[in-house]
Structure 1
Amino acid sequence: MYIKRYYSLWMTVVWSKKSLLYGLLYSAIIILVYEITKINFALPWQPISVIGVAVAFFLSFKNNSSYDRTWEARKIWGKVINDSRTFATAVLTMPVQDTSHEWKKSTIHRHLAWLLALKHNMRKVRTWEHNGPIDKLVFTPSFRKECEDGMEPEISQYLSACELNDLRKFSNIPTQILKNQSVELERLYNDGQLSEYKHVWLHQLIGNFYDLQGMTERIKNFPFPRQYASTGLWILYIFCALIPFGLLDIFEQSQELHHWLTIPFSTIIIWLFFLVDRIGDYSENPFEAAYNDVPISSISRAIEIDLREMLGETNIPPVYAAENGFLM
């Protein structure tokens, strides 16, 4: 997530430079062919503008839908923050005579292991995402290291060696960690160390975590429908391919303007349309570890700090700092 007030114009151009360069090259070729052959292949602008309106409506739909996915993802992780604090408070306020501090600590640590495991599950590559090599994350070296190290170094500090070894055989580790929490609560309740009210409340909170995990997995594992993404891209290509021909018709008929102006104006229009499409394209998948995604690493670290401070621990990790304007 970019946290400065604005992207600079240069950063925006660099991010979308391919469409700018291809638009310039394509427009220049069209005008050069026109200049050399003297064949008038200009097209009336009116039908092209109708296609442009359709493209604009489609891009608007795509970008709104993509933004909804990103905003929903952020709301889900906001709920993870709230429920994590509630869960830790519920565990820590259990009567001292019934449960030891070590049990409370291990339960909260297990929750942190679930949180970090879920974070790493959300970072796994999907075929429809834009994930590039980790070493391309040049602006965030700390985050690059986190990706390279993987899940196990982070969750191993919060789980016993036996439990960690048992979890390795499962495909969905966060789900199994929550199951272990439920099993441990059931054991405590059967031993008479947990009141019925607290037992029900804590199970409800674990149920909330299952719900939140399912919501975030739904966004991660179900892409923006490919038929919408593909159709929008093809009609965008068709529209942009026609732009130089339509502008040539306008500039050629004007005595004040020259047909060479078709090149810069076509380039700008093509670039703007592809820039808007690219923004929506990168908003579809808010967990793919791109620079504009939901900063789940920072959110996880904030929860980690809060819960460990509740436990009274001292060796607490620092806040996940922004690097070059990016918070991951």
Structure 2
Amino acid sequence: MLYKLFAFTWLSVPLTIVVLLGTATSFIVGFKNVQTYNRATEALDIWVDILGKSRRWGQIARDFVEDKQLSRKLVYRHLAWLTALRYELRRPRVWEGAGKRFNAEYRRFYRVPEWERDIDELLPDYLPPSEAAQALSSPSVPTHILSLQSTSLRMLHTTGCLGSHFYMELHRSLGDFISLQSRAEGFKNFPYPRQYATVSSLFVKFFCLLFPFGLLHEFDKLNDGMTGFMQGNMIWLVVPCSVAVSWMYTSLEQVGESTENPFEGGANDVPISTLCSIIERDLKEMLGEQTADPTVGVIIAL
């Protein structure tokens, strides 16, 4: 308006500067999106591994531990570990963005079970009272449960309830679970580097602010070849064009930001609650116990 009505031509910025800034912004936003996407896919791979190894754990515990009660304890202790791990991964961190407006608006379409019930209510369903109390008093509940599982395996092997070959197989699986837990906790406790995230956000904001001023002179030159109503009014097209391009850049920035933290409880999270429900269903079926299908429901549980 100032450029058109009051001839403030000094507001115009050379288009070359805007193009260079837009190119740099595209590179840094693209880099951020690739890195955050890799974080999300690797976090999903971790839980796919947990899913497969959990089924293997259930098969060995069912088929090669003669005492069915001991077999059931191994399986249920594993379910307790899964429960503790998903609760640990859902604990909020200060850098996470699940509460931001663009994430909060989708919250009505799904639920996060870890925010609805306390872990104190669930662990006694899988562990004896003494073990549940010990685990809940530990600084790291999932790590303590894995320690209990290791002690239990050693006792089963010592008493002859578990053969050496299958003891080694289960112990190897236990080591895999420790490794997978550590990798998942790494994604939870170490966010996408803040310096890259901050620079990306600043570049996008600065580009969106400067972009309309870079178009002023270019659109003003279009008036020379215009006739009729649009003659002298081409400058007004700067508004919709700059809004459209700015929306593209801010959307790309928001996409990257929404996938930075794969366990924060946002709409783009790894669905660890659903995966744990599927594992629980499969392992209980191996024991001959019937459970409800966790995939049935109107509201998606992450």
TM-score by length of 2: 0.91
Which residue number in structure 2 is paired with residue 320 of structure 1? 295
Structure 1 residue 272, shift from structure 2 partner: 0.7
Offset at 1:145?
5.2
Aligned to 2:159: 191
* Counterpart among 143, 148, 172 of residue 204 in structure 1: 172
Q: 1:223 aligns with which of 183, 191, 195?
A: 191
Q: Secondary structure at the match of 1:261?
A: helix
- Stretches of structure 2 that go unaligned for 5 or more consecutive residues are 227-232
- Bigger mean CA deviation after superposition, 172-181 or 155-164: 155-164
8 Å Cα contact 1:114-1:177 kept in structure 2:
yes
Q: 1:212 to 1:163 in 2, by over 3 A?
A: same
Match status 1:309 vs 2:285: yes
Which residue in the other structure is 1:147 paired with?
A: 115
* Change beyond 3 A, Cα 1:95–1:184: closer
Once the two structures are TM-superposed, the CA of residue 146 in structure 1 deviates from its matched residue by: 4.3
* Residues 74-118 of structure 1, C-alpha deviations (whole Å, 9 max, x = no match): 11100001100111111111152xxx2111111100100101111
The match for 2:132 is 164
Alignment check: 8 A CA contact 1:297 1:320 kept: no
Alignment check: 8 A CA contact 2:80 2:126 kept: yes
Query: Which consecutive residues of structure 1, in runs of 5 or more, have no partner in the other structure?
Result: 1-31
Q: CA deviation at 1:283?
A: 0.9
Equivalent pair of 2:90/2:114 in contact (CA under 8 Å): no
Whether the 8 Å contact between 1:83 and 1:205 is mirrored in structure 2 is yes
2: CA distance, partners of 1:73 / 1:104: 30
What secondary structure does 1:290 align onto?
coil
CA RMSD across the alignment:
1.9
Task: Tell me the alpha carbon deviations over residues 220-263 of structure 1, each in whole angstroms, 9 at most, x when there is no partner.
Answer: 11110111111111122211111110111211111136111111
Task: Give the equivalent residue in structure 2 for 1:23.
Answer: none
Equivalent residues in 2 for 1:89-100, closer than 5 Å: 89-96=59-66, 100=67
In structure 2, C-alpha distance between the alignment counterparts of 1:283 and 1:65, rounded to whole Å: 10
TM alignment of 1:295-306, pairs within 5 A: 295-306=271-282
What aligned pairs does 1:289-300 form with structure 2 within 5 A after superposition?
A: 289-300=265-276
* Residue 53 of structure 1 pairs with residue 23 of structure 2: yes
Q: Look up the match of 1:123.
A: 90
Aligned amino acid, residue 37 of structure 1: F
Secondary structure, counterpart of 2:275 in structure 1: helix
Whether the aligned pair in 1 keeps the contact of 2:157 and 2:163 (CA below 8 Å) is yes
Deviation at 1:158, TM superposition (A): 0.7
- Give the one of 72, 79, 82 matched to 2:49: 79
Query: By how many angstroms is 1:322 displaced?
Result: 5.8
- Out of 136, 141, 157, the residue aligned to residue 173 of structure 1 is 141
CA apart distance, 1:293: 1.1
Match of 2:147, SS state, is: helix
Deviation at 1:139, TM superposition (A): 1.6
1:63 to 7, 27, 33: 33
Over residues 125-167 of structure 1, what are the superposed CA-to-partner deviations in whole Å (9 max), with x where a residue is unaligned? 1111112299862222xx2454121323233211111111111
Task: Rate the CA distance shift 1:313–1:118 in 2: closer, same or farther, 3 A.
Answer: same
Taking structure 1 as the reference length, the TM-score comes to 0.84
How many residues are aligned here? 290
Question: What SS does the aligned partner of 2:262 have?
Answer: coil
SS of aligned partner of 1:254: helix
Instruction: For 1:127, give the aligned amino acid.
Output: V
